[in-house]
């Protein structure tokens, strides 16, 4: 497979996943905004959304003070923000357009129809009463595209690059989301493991579609340490770090075929640290430090993947 084809498949999937992740982050921000809290807490929550996406500096240069309306606009429909939902959907569609002879007709129709529906979205309507419906539709279309891909694409090397795009993007987002929201809801080290408002943690779980899964596993009491365990260690939770790395290693095994690629070693090393680690040890040494390191290692893995297979980094 040509390196540029692999690159387009990989980034088509990453941008599609990123659009959904941004919608989930904004949705949880709006949910938390409905919970009575101080103005400082509200601002801190929206600051964390910008931190997850890594766009604090660009936002401040263009919008100044952080408030809900500007953050939602910036992260949803701002054409000049490469991390906005609008920009991610466009980038995913452009990568798919370069792959018309590689992807299935159903995949192209799904990603193209999504772009055509969203490209002329009215930001004023979005900021009015349509935010939640907009985010739900983004998530629905992302699930549609993922389902069409899984059910129609030949499961060869190209499919492996799509799986890698989804898995690495999701792993990084889960780590950033958990780190940022954990910091907002537990501002001091002494509070870790203490009683935190049920609805705030419920909103965090809903942002990764884990609310029902949490209650099924841990009963009705939401505890921060258990939320962290669910989103890091559980192999049966689709958006957990361990589940994403299971998918990453499986896809790389198909691509590497036993050859000693550095990206496979990096993936295996990170997977082993999580699969054979203990939650008590992670919390003991610092959850923030662990998650920051996990994000950095996922980024390094993505860069090495491009060096090994796409010769573009």
Taking the C-alpha atoms of residue 290 and residue 62, their distance in angstroms, rounded to an integer, is 32
Q: Say what the pLDDT of residue 189 is.
A: 45
Mean pLDDT, to the nearest integer, of 74-98?
93
Whether this prediction's pTM lies above 0.85 is answered by yes
180 pLDDT tier (thresholds 50, 70, 90): confident
Rounded Cα distance between 67 and 199, Å, is: 21
* CB half-sphere exposure, 261, CA atoms < 13 A: 23
Would you state the pLDDT for residue 55?
Answer: 86
Average pLDDT of the chain to the nearest whole number = 87
Over 80: is that where the pLDDT of 220 sits?
Answer: no
Given pLDDT bands bounded at 50, 70 and 90, which one contains residue 133? confident
Tens of pLDDT, residues 32-56: 777 666 777 777 778 878 887 788 8
pLDDT at position 36 is 64
């Amino acid at each position: 497979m040509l390196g540029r084809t692999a690159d387009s498949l990989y980034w088509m999937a990453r941008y599609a996943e990123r659009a959904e992740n941004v919608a989930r982050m904004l949705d949880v921000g709006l949910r938390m905004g409905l919970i009575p809290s101080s103005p400082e807490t509200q601002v801190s929550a929206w600051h964390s959304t910008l931190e997850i996406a890594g766009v604090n500096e660009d936002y401040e240069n263009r919008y100044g003070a952080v408030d809900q309306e500007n953050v939602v606009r910036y992260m949803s429909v701002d054409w000049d923000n490469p991390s906005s939902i609008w920009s991610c959907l466009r980038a995913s569609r452009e990568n798919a357009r370069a792959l018309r002879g590689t992807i299935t007709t159903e995949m192209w129709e799904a990603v193209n129809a999504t772009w055509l529906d969203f490209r002329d979205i009215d930001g004023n309507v979005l900021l009015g009463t349509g935010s939640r419906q907009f985010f739900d539709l983004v998530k629905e279309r992302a699930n549609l595209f993922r389902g069409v891909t899984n059910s129609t694409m030949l499961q060869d090397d190209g499919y492996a690059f799509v799986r890698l795009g989804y898995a690495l993007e999701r792993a990084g987002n889960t780590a950033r989301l958990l780190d940022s929201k954990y910091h907002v809801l537990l501002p001091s080290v002494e509070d870790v493991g203490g009683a935190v408002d049920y609805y705030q943690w419920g909103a965090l779980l809903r942002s990764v579609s884990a609310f029902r899964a949490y209650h099924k596993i841990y009963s009705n009491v939401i505890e921060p340490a258990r939320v962290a365990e669910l989103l890091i260690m559980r192999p049966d939770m689709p958006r957990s770090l361990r589940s994403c790395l299971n998918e990453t290693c499986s896809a790389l095994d198909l691509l590497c075929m036993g050859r000693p690629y550095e990206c496979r070693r990096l993936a295996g090393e990170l997977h082993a640290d999580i699969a054979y680690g203990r939650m008590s040890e992670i919390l003991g040494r610092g959850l923030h430090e662990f998650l920051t390191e996990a994000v950095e290692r996922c980024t390094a893995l993505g860069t090495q993947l491009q060096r090994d297979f796409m010769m573009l980094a």
